[in-house]
Amino acid sequence: MCRIFAAALADGQVGPVLKVGLKRLEYGGYDSSGMATIDQGKLKIKKGVGKLDEVDRSVKFDELSGNIGIAHNRWATHGYPSVTNAHPQVDCTGKIAVVHNGVIENFLEIKEELAERGHEFMSRTDTEVIAHLIEDYIKKGMDFLNSTINAIKELKGSYALAILYSAEPDKVMLVKNESPLMLGIGDDGNYAASDPVAFVDHTNRVIQLEDGELAIITPKSYKVYRISDQGLVNHNIETVDINVNDVNKGGYRHYMLKEIMEQPVAISYALNLQIQYLDVVSELVRRSRITYLIGAGSSYHSCMAGSYMLSQISGLPTIPAVASEFIQQFGKTLNPDSTVILASQSGETADVLKVASYARLKASTIISITNVVSSTITRLSRAYIIQQAGPEIGVAATKTYTTQLLVYYQLAVKLAKKSGSITEMEINSYMKGLRELPRLADKVLKDVREPISKLATELKDAGHIFFLGRGINTATAYEGRLKMLEISYIPSSAFSAGESKHGPIALIENNSPVIFLAPDDASRKVMLGNIMEIRARGGKAIVFGNEVDSELKQASDEFIGMPQINEMLTPIIYILPLQLLAYNTAILKGYDPDKPRNLAKSVTVL
């Protein structure tokens, strides 16, 4: 977890620059934040517990002097959130400062050895051992570069590191292994960060570091080395296309609301997927004996919906699976004839990357669907499709969920075309649905505003909320439930409506709120029966259904009308009011929807 940022400026104070970048990276962790700079050969450190703004109010990051510095947002893995455990972590001499994203697996052994040699540890973090290890080599007479290289060779685990050493005050040392890290090459200085959004207003020229590489940036230069043989590496500089306005709130109170409301635009971007990529991916899937669709959190829900799309549109059976369970559940069935499609908006989720490494060993085909082109997952994949949703900062996935669904839909239509399994007329009708989607999404977001804010007022004090769907909208029920519980903290459950009579119905009491997703599809009739069952037991049926369905409306306690669209696209339209419902409920309860407690945007630990 965590996000890191480093800057070496030709001129001026680095404190304010680091603060802006860190704010942009807050989605990666907000248990604590901290910075270190070097001024006149001395290391200066400020850090504190809590969100960046709170820490800044007490420590005043802007006042950090010096033109070179490193910064960190923490999501705790080793050691409780505290000032001592906040990064930067330093060595015994107070000359070396380290910020780290990742996990050092063998830190306890290293710590013991170093303690025996007299090193004193202040924190419970795995990161602190890195500062002491480097110190140990420096004591032996090595320079900063060689000490870092020797220290790194002792580490097992994942790490993106930025390191300062006050005796070599013009350098930031950067190291990458299994955690994202890239350099930003600017005219006013050089930068490095877990994500280019941190430095995008200084430069859009980026170098992607590879695992096993170390880079040194100074205000005027940069060098990249291979750690194994210390050879210099010549990377191409790429240009990243991120608009600064994309990463600000665009006038909305929260990123989550901004990202919900920009879905019509994100959807239209995702309709322009690159044809060649869809072509390659569909060909690989077509040749495969078996295809698994794998993801975590919301991305798993998109895989659930994706499996309905692939089977119903293109007649292709696929198996959706949760990333953290996949290896135990299906690992042994992988072979060169199988394909894994890994859906991960960040492309950095550790559970998903682990499946990728495993599938690699089994020589299976790896395909990814992600929103971040520079992510680790694209580098592990034989082919990938980028969702094109733009950066998503709010922790709860919204536009990246709907755009992932769109990728699956387009893949399914492509496969159907290739296999000739459906008629030209059917293909045209599926494509027509796609073209209507941005307009319908926009309409829904406007039409449901009022009813949803009323519903949020009714539900804000609920002790428990049920979400029931059928068919492809079972995935919508799961995703709606996840949104509600992760940002409003109201305990919620989701089931396929057919399952409700096999247990969940036992919980229904007078006025228990039950949300039904009941579009006009093959299961509408049985849904009507399920609604009756719940109401007969005193439950309150809040139904999302076709706006012209008067029978359904009559059968509901509350009814929210949705436009007609082909069944396979309903999950994209029906999740929109549920995202808004979760958002409004969180606001009414006084919670910050952009930073739900205990959660992080991308979970880079297993």
User: Using CB under 6 A, which of the segments 150-158, 205-213, 342-350, 545-553 binds ligand G6P?
Assistant: 342-350
**Residue closer to ligand G6P, measured from CB, 393 or 445:** 393
Distance of CA 568 to the CA centre of its chain: 25
Q: What sign does the dihedral 240-22-296-358 (CA atoms) show? A: positive
Contact between residue 34 and residue 23 where contact means Cβ atoms under 8 Å apart? no
Only one of the segments 157-165, 192-200, 295-303, 447-455 lies at the binding site for ligand G6P (rule: CB under 6 A); that segment is 295-303
72 vs 48: CA distance, rounded Å: 11
Q: Is 603 in the site for ligand G6P (CB under 6 A)?
A: yes
Catalytic residue (one of 2, 23, 171, 483): 2
Is 299 a binder of ligand G6P (CB under 6 A)? yes
Q: Which is nearer to ligand G6P, 132 or 601 (CB)?
A: 601
Distance between CA atoms of residues 557 and 54, nearest Å? 44
Q: Kindly state whether residue 296 participates in binding ligand G6P, applying the rule CB under 6 A.
A: yes
**CA gap 272, 293 in Å, rounded:** 22
Among 158, 208, 298, 476, binds ligand G6P (CB under 6 A): 298
Q: Does 402 bind ligand G6P (CB under 6 A)?
A: no
Of the pair 101, 147, the CB lying nearest ligand G6P is at 101
**E strands in 464-532:** 465-469, 492-496, 513-518
Q: How far is the CB of 295 from ligand G6P (least distance, A)?
A: 6
Question: Least CB distance from residue 556 to ligand G6P, whole Å?
Answer: 30
Asked if 291 touches ligand G6P (CB under 6 A), the answer is no
> Which segment (22-30, 51-59, 343-351, 553-561) binds ligand G6P by CB under 6 A?
343-351
**Closer residue to ligand G6P in complex, CB, 27/222:** 27
Instruction: Give the residue with the Cβ less far from ligand G6P, 131 or 367.
Output: 367
Q: Tokens representing 324?
A: 């953290």
Displacement of CA 595 from its chain's centroid (Å): 13
Site string for ligand G6P, 350-379 (x = CB under 6 A): --x---------------------------
User: Binding to ligand G6P by residue 339, rule CB under 6 A?
Assistant: no
User: Stretches 122-130, 309-317, 345-353, 567-575: which one binds ligand G6P (CB under 6 A)?
Assistant: 345-353
Asked if 125 touches ligand G6P (CB under 6 A), the answer is: no
Our CB check for ligand G6P shows the closer of 101 and 349 to be: 349
The 10 Å Cβ neighbour count of residue 113 is 15
Measured from the Cβ of residue 317, the count of other Cβ atoms closer than 10 Å reads 9
Which one is catalytic: 47, 414, 540, 601?
Answer: 601
Distances (CA, A) of 10 to 187, 220, 258, 403: 9, 7, 35, 41
Structural tokens at position 298: 């919301």
Q: Which of 123, 208, 314, 345 binds ligand G6P (CB under 6 A)?
A: 345
Among 77, 530, 579, 602, binds ligand G6P (CB under 6 A): 602
Using the contact rule CB under 6 A, the part of the chain among 294-302, 419-427, 448-456, 578-586 near ligand G6P is 294-302
Q: Are 568 and 313 in contact (CB under 8 A)?
A: yes
Nearer to ligand G6P, 297 or 471 (CB): 297
Query: C-beta of 345: minimal distance to ligand G6P in Å?
Result: 4
344 binds ligand G6P (CB under 6 A): yes
Q: How far apart are CA 559 and CA 541, in angstroms?
A: 8
**By CB under 6 A, residue 33 contacts ligand G6P:** no
User: Rounded CA gap, 339 and 204, in Å?
Assistant: 35
Write the secondary structure of 47-95 as one string of H (helix), E (strand) and C (coil): EEECCHHHHHHHHCHHHCCCCEEEEEEECCCCCCCCCCCCCCEECCCCC
In 474-529, DSSP assigns E strands to 492-496, 513-518
Is 2 a known active-site residue?
A: yes
Annotated catalytic, 601? yes
Do the beta carbons of residue 25 and residue 3 sit within 8 Å?
A: yes
Using CB atoms, what's the residue nearest to ligand G6P?
Answer: 297
Strand (E) or helix (H) holding 308: helix 298-314
Residues belonging to the chain: 606
Q: Which two tokens stand for residue 431?
A: 């494509």
**Strand, helix or coil for residue 225:** strand
Stretch that binds ligand G6P, among 121-129, 243-251, 391-399, 494-502 (CB under 6 A): 391-399
CB of 465 vs ligand G6P, minimal distance in Å: 19
| Backbone angles phi and psi of 87, in degrees to 5 | -90, 160
CA dist 374 and 198 (Å) reads 14
Smallest gap from residue 352 Cβ to ligand G6P (A):
5
Q: Looking at the annotation, which residues are catalytic?
A: 2, 601
Using CB under 6 A, list all residues that contact ligand G6P. Answer: 296-299, 344-346, 349, 352, 395-397, 599, 601-603
